[in-house]
Amino acid sequence: MYYIQDLFVNIARSWTSWISGFLPLWAVSGVNYLIMAVILVMMPVLATLTLTWMERKVIGRIQNRIGPNRVGPFGIFQAFADAVKMLVKEDVIPTDADRPVFNLAPILIAAGAALLWAVIPFGRGMAAADLNVGVLYIIAIGSMTMIAMLMAGWSSNNKYALIGAFRAVAQLLSYEVPMVLSIATVALVVGSMRMGAVVEAQVVPFVVVLPATFVVYLMAGIAETGRSPFDLLEAESEIVAGYFVEYSGLKFGWFYIAEYGNLFAISAIVTTLFLGGWRGPGVSAVPALGPFYFIAKIVAVVFLMMWIRGTWPRVRIDQMLGLAWKVLVPVSLANLLWVAFVMKLPLPTALQWVLFVVGGLAVLAVALGLLGRAGRRHVASKGMVQT
């Protein structure tokens, strides 16, 4: 019974003790690291195979269609059909492309999507490397994605690709600031940058305790993955496909995998930071339930992002930058200041957390009020009819 209760950790322990029987110590850790690395690399691929199907179904339902329904029951093998199509396509490299850089970019971008998974805890004691600077690691990996996008856009020798890369970097740089500020707020409350500690600290999920931080992080996260309404780095109607317009075949496939891998990873980070990660009813008695709660919460966040994609129009580039610098940065800064101030007050933790909620809601209310006033002023100045 005990074995079942903490199934995954016990399987890992049994495996380690079994191979220690006939392997030297360095080989045991080598084999274990290799297995972990393979799992991490498989995560974006797994995300692509499942989430593309989910996205098509969800968007289809939102648009009053059925979505894929020909390949397999409910079309669940649609992603496999697409994968085969991608594999047999011709690999085209533009004549004037900077070949080594052109070939390196898809590798780097897919590596970035896989590396994010290294610090994410799937359950208690179930992270590949629970670094004590885990949240900082996540932000640092994001900068690798930016470099890969610039490399792809520049080396393609195509103006649409270059414009896409410029847009991508402007967007990622701008939204990194509110993202870092909201992660800093969480780290301040937890008192640690370790992802495992963040989950352990969430007696109440931080989405309730830090509502403003959650909203800012979710918007910044959608922008970082380049999804609608912030998909202007690959806006099909304006710049064809953005920074990866010249890629075809499997190299295009790597960008596709990176996109869905990032979507899955950002949802996992949102779950870890704000939704209590693997926490759930009965998880302290039966730790093996943790990963299932974790995956269920991730899928809920992914669904929320698809819902937003299916219902919101794309923002313009000036609106996108304005939202980051004029709304999200002040909101997250005000929230961070409030949290830092309350943390210094000599109060019991529960009362502090209540004050966090009050402050967060006040910050959100003020921000929305100011935005509403600005919108009404804009409508009046343009002479538009207010409905």
Partner 1 sequence: MQQVIFIVLSLLTLSAAVMVVASRSLFRSALWLILAFAGIAMLFILLQAEFLAFVHILIYIGAIAILIIFAIMLSRGVMDPNEPRFNDQWRLVIGFGALLFVGLVVIMLRIPWPVNIVAVPADAIQLLGADFVGTYVIPFEVASVLLVAALIGAIVIAREH
User: Binding residues for partner 1, per CB under 8 A?
Assistant: 98, 101, 131-133, 136-137, 139-140, 142-144, 146-147, 150-151, 154, 162, 166, 169, 173, 176, 193
Q: How far is the CB of 150 from partner 1 (least distance, A)?
A: 6
Q: How far is the CB of 281 from partner 1 (least distance, A)?
A: 33
Q: How far is the CB of 147 from partner 1 (least distance, A)?
A: 6
Quick one: CA dihedral 239, 243, 246, 249, positive or negative?
A: negative
Residue with tokens 């301040």: 188
**Which of residues 172 and 298 has its CB atom nearest to partner 1 in the complex?**
172
**Which of residues 169 and 273 has its CB atom nearest to partner 1 in the complex?**
169
* Angle CA 75–77–82, to nearest 5: 110
Contact 276, 56 (CB under 8 A): no
CB atoms within 10 A of CB 258: 27
**Which of residues 75 and 142 has its CB atom nearest to partner 1 in the complex?**
142
Give the separation between CA 45 and CA 48, rounded to whole angstroms. Answer: 5
- Burial of 121: CB neighbours in 10 Å, binned 0-12, 13-18, 19+: buried
**Which of residues 166 and 252 has its CB atom nearest to partner 1 in the complex?**
166
Give the separation between CA 112 and CA 259, rounded to whole angstroms. Answer: 10
- Give percent helix, percent strand, percent coil of the chain, each to the nearest 5: 75, 0, 25
Q: How far is the CB of 224 from partner 1 (least distance, A)?
A: 12
**Which of residues 47 and 269 has its CB atom nearest to partner 1 in the complex?**
269
H helices present in 191-313, as ranges: 195-201, 206-209, 211-225, 236-239, 249-274, 290-311
- Return the C-alpha torsion angle 372, 329, 260, 198, nearest 10: -120
**Which of residues 78 and 225 has its CB atom nearest to partner 1 in the complex?**
225
Q: How far is the CB of 101 from partner 1 (least distance, A)?
A: 7
**Which of residues 48 and 225 has its CB atom nearest to partner 1 in the complex?**
225
Q: How far is the CB of 98 from partner 1 (least distance, A)?
A: 7
Q: How far is the CB of 322 from partner 1 (least distance, A)?
A: 14
Closest to 211 (Cα-Cα) out of 94, 355, 56? 355
Give the burial string for 4-31 (b: 16+ CB within 10 Å, else e): eebebbeebeeeeeeeeeeeeeeebeee
**Which of residues 36 and 133 has its CB atom nearest to partner 1 in the complex?**
133
Q: How far is the CB of 302 from partner 1 (least distance, A)?
A: 26
Residue with tokens 């409508």: 379
